[in-house]
Amino acid sequence: MSASSKLLVLNAGSSSLKFKVFGVQPFAAGIGGMFDRIGDAINCTLKASAPADLDGGKGRKWEIKIPAKDHVEAMQRILDFIKGNVSSAFAREVVAVGHRVVHGLEISQPVLLTDKTIGKIREAAVLAPLHNPPGLQGIDAAEKVFKGVPQVAVFDTAFHQTMPSQAFMYGLPYELYEKHKIRRYGFHGTSHKYLVEQAAGMLGKPVSETNVITCHLGNGSSIAAIRGGLCIDTTMGMTPLEGLLMGTRCGDLDPAAVLFIQKQLNLSVQDTDTLLNKKSGLLGLTGSNDLRAVIEGAQRGEPRAELGLAMFVYRVQKYIGAYWAALGGKVDAVVFSAGIGENSSVIRGLVIGPLKGMGLELDVAANDATVGGRCGDIAAPTSRCRLLVIPTDEELCIAEQTLQVVGFQNLTGATAA
Ligand code: AMP
């Protein structure tokens, strides 16, 4: 362990690899970016940005077209890029790698990656065929490039493992749970965990005494009810499809509607999956998955945009109400985060405005001013609970959990391929 020791956080998608480097002592965020369109010989791009203190107070951004046929090659290119632009010794400086893994079944803590724990992630891929295989590719790539460096998986599902069975079970035959692990798991857990910890700090309370409703509203959206720092319910289910209306996902839906659509349109399982995950939500209703375009359309009076906007807002309100009840009305704060929650004062206003009867009141000026990565309390002094805007930082949370699992003493240093 030395002053130059680094921690690398990876978040692998099916054709992308996001990365962020952290200094370990002192713990601080460094260069980060994303390899996009892996496997596309023409459009494969590496984008990166370095914070100001890495580059003589200016900060720096890069966008480079470089082909990478798979995640291993992308990982090697990222390594070469950082060696060439930030630190020539980077390969030797990396002392641990933390991975975002979407589905961890009933694993409730981050785990050190071993053959056994990697086997568990493969097992979970049966329930998360879209999400876990890219995570495994990221793990494989890092293992090949950073040989012998400890690697940790941090699961999106882990934080929600404290949900009681009344919240996580479906009303299906019990054997489906026992034999096939069919239950609600919840996602965005790293973000919800980060948000309650930050909220506790802002409220001046211990996390273990903090009750919040955290709204992670982005292209994928979920809300969690958190009592005493522990999740008691969340809107996503066995997969990230359940709950709120999202960019391209339908959210809550009568399962009989799926059976009917499948039969009526003669769709395969794969086609149905694509319809519900990729062609529905705001995209399916309005033609755009970007809420900014939907808001603009609604402002122009376009009926479908008005409908999409109203549905998005209504479901958020409905779940805030449900979780208010789940928490017995003892709520310290409603927290807004992610692309929409952090940036759209319009959505926050539409969601909270009609909840005055529950005692929730916005400070309009604070709401308008708290955008673009700002953190703050946007509640009026008379509001029954605080309304907080907190920019989420999943990479930071993964980095902290990785360090906890590995422990400073065990950090060994890297031998890059
Ligand atoms: P995320 O998935 O957290 O990166 O959030 C991305 C989404 O945030 C985009 O698809 C946009 O719909 C949404 N978004 C970003 N800025 C705004 C804004 N000012 N108003 C409404 N939606 C926004």
Summary mean pLDDT of the chain: 93
Question: What number is the average pLDDT over the span 345-374?
Answer: 97
**Taking the mean position of all CA atoms in its chain, how far away is CA 380?**
29
Question: What number is the average pLDDT over the span 299-320?
Answer: 98
- pLDDT per residue as tens digits for the range 168-197: 999 999 999 999 999 999 999 999 999 999
Question: What number is the average pLDDT over the span 147-172?
Answer: 97
Distance 186 CA to ligand 1 centre (A): 21
Please give the CATH architecture assigned to the domain spanning 205-394. 2-Layer Sandwich (3.30)
- pLDDT per residue as tens digits for the range 246-297: 999 999 999 999 999 999 999 999 999 999 999 999 999 999 999 999 999 9
Q: Are 95 and 414 in contact (CB under 8 A)?
A: yes
The values of phi and psi at residue 2, to 5°, are: -140, 175
Please check the confidence at residue 130 and state whether its pLDDT lies above 80.
no
Probe ligand 1: pick from 195, 219, 340, max atoms within 8 Å of CB?
340
CB atoms within 10 A of CB 91: 19
Which ligand 1 atom sits nearest the alpha carbon of residue 392?
3
Residue-level pLDDT at 258? 98
The values of phi and psi at residue 68, to 5°, are: -145, 120
Is 368 close to ligand 1, i.e. is its CB under 6 Å away?
Answer: no
Question: Distance between CA 244 and CA 340 in Å, rounded?
Answer: 13
Q: Which residues fall within 8 angstroms of residue 207, CB to CB, at 6 or more apart?
A: 196, 197, 200, 229
The values of phi and psi at residue 384, to 5°, are: -70, -30
Residue-level pLDDT at 56? 60
Please check the confidence at residue 412 and state whether its pLDDT lies above 50.
no
Give the pLDDT band (50/70/90) at residue 14: confident
Q: Do the two domains 6-155 and 205-394 of this chain adopt the same fold?
A: yes
Please give the CATH architecture assigned to the domain spanning 6-155. 2-Layer Sandwich (3.30)
Please check the confidence at residue 413 and state whether its pLDDT lies above 80.
no
Domain boundaries along the sequence of the chain = 6-155, 205-394
List strands edge to edge, sheet with 151-155. 60-65, 45-50, 28-36, 17-23, 6-12, 94-101, 151-155, 111-112
Give the pLDDT band (50/70/90) at residue 54: low
Residue-level pLDDT at 417? 40
- pLDDT per residue as tens digits for the range 373-402: 999 999 999 999 999 999 999 999 999 999
Question: What number is the average pLDDT over the span 79-83?
Answer: 92
Please check the confidence at residue 164 and state whether its pLDDT lies above 50.
yes
Question: Distance between CA 164 and CA 226 in Å, rounded?
Answer: 12
List strands edge to edge, sheet with 212-217. 230-234, 221-227, 212-217, 333-337, 386-389, 376-377
Distance 343 CA to ligand 1 centre (A): 7
Question: What number is the average pLDDT over the span 191-206?
Answer: 98
Give the pLDDT band (50/70/90) at residue 339: very high
Which ligand 1 atom sits nearest the alpha carbon of residue 219?
2
Q: What count of Cα atoms within 13 Å lies in the side-chain half-sphere of residue 31?
A: 22
Give the pLDDT band (50/70/90) at residue 57: low
Residue-level pLDDT at 416? 40
3-state secondary structure of 216: strand
User: Who wins on pLDDT, 51 or 201?
Assistant: 201
The closest alpha carbon to 189, from 104, 276, 115, 311, belongs to 104
The closest alpha carbon to 222, from 198, 248, 197, 192, belongs to 192
Report, as residue numbers or ranges, the catalytic residues.
156
